[in-house]
Amino acid sequence: MSVQKTNGNIMFEYIFFDARLRDKFVSHAKERGAPCRVSDDPLGFTASVPEDLSEEVLDDLERFYELLEREQMASSREQGELRSIAGFGFILPDGQSRMLPLKPEMANRLLASFSLDEIRELFSEVARCTLQPSDEHLCRILREELKGS
């Protein structure tokens, strides 16, 4: 799951590699009274729900998503597919959400040292610095940050 900001609204985004599983998630969300927005992403199929749902509904959706992930893994093994990719969601400066695919070994190394929130923050900051580069020298940037501390 990743967090996405659309038109000022925060949405929780769930990604699937199988449209059938995404559709099962959407049906389950609707049964729980959660509106869903669906889209096709270059990395898969997504379903997004608003972040202002009750904690109970959000927890239920997260548990259901985990069940669907296990179903996807079992299906992939049965079909002999190798799903050797992991991904981390991050936010671009304009609020769009993106997913960075990584090899599982690298993802595991990152997760061994950083929390998921820290990884998302890191990738979001890299995206910001890439898309909105500063011409200032690193020493000056660090000195300014130290003054603000």
Q: Write out pLDDT tens, residues 70-113.
A: 888 777 666 655 455 677 778 888 888 788 888 777 887 888 88
| pLDDT at res. 3 | 61
d(CA 3, CA 14): 9
The secondary structure element, H or E, covering residue 11 is strand 9-16
DSSP letter (8 states) at residue 6: E
Which residue ranges form the domains of the chain, and what is each CATH number?
2-131 (3.30.70.600)
- Phi and psi dihedrals of 76, rounded to 5? -65, -40
Among 53, 37, 50, 41, CA closest to 15: 41
d(CA 89, CA 4): 9
Mean pLDDT of the chain: 81
Residue 8 has pLDDT above 70, yes or no: no
Tokens of 93: 């400066």
Residues 106, 108, 109: CA angle, nearest 5 degrees: 65
In the three-class reduction of DSSP (H, G, I as helix; E, B as strand; rest coil), residue 81 is classed as coil
**Cβ(20)–Cβ(28) below 8 Å:** no
Residue 57 has pLDDT above 80, yes or no: yes
Contact residues for 33 (Cβ-Cβ < 8 A; gap 6+)? 57
pTM metric for this prediction: 0.54
Among 79, 83, 55, 48, CA closest to 69: 83
